[in-house]
Structure 1
Amino acid sequence: MKNETTSQQEFLFGKRNYIFMMIGIAFIALGFIFMAGGGSDDPNVFNEEIYNWQRIRLAPTLVIIGLGIEIYAILLNPKK
């Protein structure tokens, strides 16, 4: 008789880790979407929309929050 061992493949992270990772990716993507745009079609005309509070304050804050959530998701104990 042969001893066959069936090894189940386990994921590196648990379900909660992946949920938090998806939330972090959503925050980062939303931050980059808020940063996009604001340019002018005519290079000789300066558009003041580039200095909108949404691009200067909100978007980088969302990206940093998203990176914090990603770090938390990686360090979260999946066994708990």
Structure 2
Amino acid sequence: MNKNNNMPFGKRNYIMMLAGLAVLVLGFVIMSLDSEPFGFGFLGLTLGPFIVFVGFIIEVLALLHHPKEK
């Protein structure tokens, strides 16, 4: 990381954060699409929460990713 650069993360970190945010939103949208009462179908109980969990994992990885020094 360049000492003159005041950004706390690199470009790849921010791209990963945006991707994680998009996956989180996708998971919540999938949960809201469930046609069963109170969201008790496959989309609301299984697929949506799993996708939200993956989104949070992507966010954690984006925060922990450290770019290699040149």
Give me the TM-score of the superposition, normalised by structure 2: 0.78
- Mark the structure with the bigger radius of gyration: 1
Inter-CA distance 66–11: structure 2 relative to 1 (3 Å threshold) = same
Deviation beyond 6 Å, 4+ runs, structure 1 = none
Q: Would the aligned equivalents of 1:24 and 1:70 in 2 still touch at CA under 8 Å?
A: yes
- Residue 77 (1) aligns with residue 43 (2): no
Structure 1 unpaired stretches of 5+: 1-7, 40-46
Higher relative contact order (CA 8 A, sep 6+): 1
Name the Cα RMSD after superposition.
2.4
Give me the TM-score of the superposition, normalised by structure 1: 0.69
Structure that is richer in helix per residue = 2
